[in-house]
Structure 1
Amino acid sequence: MAYEHILIEKNDGIATVTLNRPDKLNAWTRIMEREVRKAMEDAEKDDDIRVIVLTGAGRGFCAGADMDLLSGIEDGSEKREPGSVYGTEAYNVAIRADFQTQYSYFPSISKPIIGAINGPAAGLGMVMSLYCDMRFASREAVFMTAFAKRGLIAEHGISWMLPQLIGHSAALDLLLSSRKVTAEEALRLGLVNQVHDTDALLPAVMAYAKDLANNVSPRSMAVMKRQVYNAKFQTLSEAVATGNEEMLKSFASEDFKEGVAHFLEKRPANFSGR
């Protein structure tokens, strides 16, 4: 399909989704919301894609909700479609309801989603970055919740996700103050995994993504991602039981056989994902 507010590029097992409103610092729109979800779901179904990268065009990642959209909510002209809380797909009983809301669906995508945060990530832009499985940031990146300075609250699950990443007190600091957090501070807080010079950001992200796409079992990545997100709702004993069950299933998989074979034969892996 043709996209209006995003770009899609697929190479070497990687789908790169680029928010593409650079003149607006990629401010979020309803069109962008639908297109990002469609792109993620398409990548999920594409057997040739093993890793997804989310980034922004130009000098920003996403400056938050477009002010026209916010104005529409404020004056009542922006209406949500009935049932839109679950996005574009019908409710799936096989996936936790927590991971099927308007923006919290990234954990339900079985493939790793890496956020390449190339510039400001504010408000809803910061929310979307948090739902990525990992975040690599440019030194020019800044993070800001923004909500308190707009008369809003901790939206779209950020009140759950942010403390998961950086802890209770640090999360309240960022939410209540709406202050700007540099890439270096974000790294210290655990908000991002790596920081790179601007020109080196995408090469670093792509090198990491290619390693996952070429050398790691897609089946293992999917199971591990599901385990880690579901474990947030489990006791230790439940997580152990899940791990034991999944280990038995992995022994019967083609990827396990290939994992042993390529190691013993000292050759590159050729995982099928099955």
Structure 2
Amino acid sequence: MEFKQIEVTRTGPEDMIAVVSFSRPEKMNALTKVMEAELRLAFDQLDRDERVRVIVLTGKGRAFCAGMDIDELEVLPPGDIRAAEWMRPYDMNRRADYQARYTYMPAVRKPVISAVNGAAAGLGMVFALYSDICFASESAVFSTAFSKRGLIAEHGIAWILPRVVGPGHAADLLYSARKLTAPEALAMGMLNRVFPAETLLEETLKYAAELATTVSPRSLRVMKRQLWEAPCQTLSEAVMLANEEMFHSIESEDFSEGVRHFIEKRPARFTGK
């Protein structure tokens, strides 16, 4: 379908990589209700599209996402955050925790890689944190922003940020809302890799292509579920889930193909089944 404030393109081998771009470059990709709804719809569609194996999220122009559009934030009614459509899970087979307003990317079955090409503030930083993997350009800058707007730690960032950078760094970034450079974010563990601005998307797509073509989509789907459920589990529960999934993986087509392509010394032809 046609989108107004985001762009969705396909690329890579057999178009197995979907690139979702915030597309309001003149406004530093600040989030509006239109963009918010389009983004949720796009991720839902790509999650259901069996041709897509990896999703890359990035921004058009010089910013990734500069947070909520100030014109909309200024008139935002307090009750908006409690709207019924944001409070219910869409899929009862996945954790409701990961189906809220901005926490849905962990429930997407495919790997989500953020390619942070510029400013990522407020909700922009939230999106980056809920990605599975996060790359950034050397010029990218992050800020929680909330305390400087008289707001609080929104949308579960008080849960996810300490798990990514540790409680001390999380308190610093939330309390001060200071600007965080890409090299500092990398040192904190918030980023996986940092690239020159001119090669960021190219390098991200190269990595995405490796995931799309050389490893089992089924394995990625199950491992993603394991990684995001583990923080909500005991060790015993995590082991029980792993044992159950190991049983099913040995019965899968991708396991058979994984053994065959290794023995036959040829590229894998995984189906995700």
TM-score by length of 1: 0.96
Confirm or deny that 1:66 pairs with 2:86.
no
CA drift at 1:78: 8.7
Match of 2:32 in 1: 29
Aligned amino acid, residue 109 of structure 2: S
What RMSD in Å do the two structures reach over aligned CA positions? 1.4
Q: How does 1:22-61 map to 2 (within 5 A)?
A: 22-61=25-64
Q: Residue 255 of structure 1: SS of its match in structure 2? A: helix
Structure 1 unmatched runs, 5+? none
Greater mean alpha carbon deviation, residues 64-73 or residues 111-120: 64-73
Q: Residue 56 of structure 2: SS of its match in structure 1? A: strand
CA drift at 1:91: 3.4
Match of 1:207 in 2: 206
Find the aligned partners of 2:43 and 2:133 in 1 and give their Cα distance: 16
Find the aligned partners of 1:152 and 1:81 in 2 and give their Cα distance: 16
Aligned amino acid, residue 11 of structure 2: N
Contact kept in structure 2, 1:69 and 1:78, CA below 8 Å: no
Q: How does 1:232-271 map to 2 (within 5 A)?
A: 232-271=231-270
CA drift at 1:10: 0.8
Structure 2 unmatched runs, 5+? none
Find the aligned partners of 2:106 and 2:7 in 1 and give their Cα distance: 22
Q: Residue 9 of structure 1: SS of its match in structure 2? A: strand
Match of 1:6 in 2: 6
Aligned amino acid, residue 7 of structure 1: E
Find the aligned partners of 1:273 and 1:48 in 2 and give their Cα distance: 10
Distance 1:241 1:99, change over 3 A: same
Q: Residue 102 of structure 1: SS of its match in structure 2? A: coil
Aligned amino acid, residue 83 of structure 1: A
Contact kept in structure 2, 1:44 and 1:109, CA below 8 Å: yes
Percent of aligned positions with the same letter in both sequences?
A: 52
Find the aligned partners of 1:244 and 1:191 in 2 and give their Cα distance: 30
Match of 1:19 in 2: 22
Find the aligned partners of 2:4 and 2:82 in 1 and give their Cα distance: 20
Q: Residue 115 of structure 2: SS of its match in structure 1? A: strand
Match of 1:225 in 2: 224
Q: How many residues align?
A: 270
Match of 1:183 in 2: 182
CA drift at 1:83: 1.2
Q: Residue 155 of structure 2: SS of its match in structure 1? A: coil
Find the aligned partners of 1:93 and 1:78 in 2 and give their Cα distance: 25
Find the aligned partners of 2:52 and 2:109 in 1 and give their Cα distance: 11
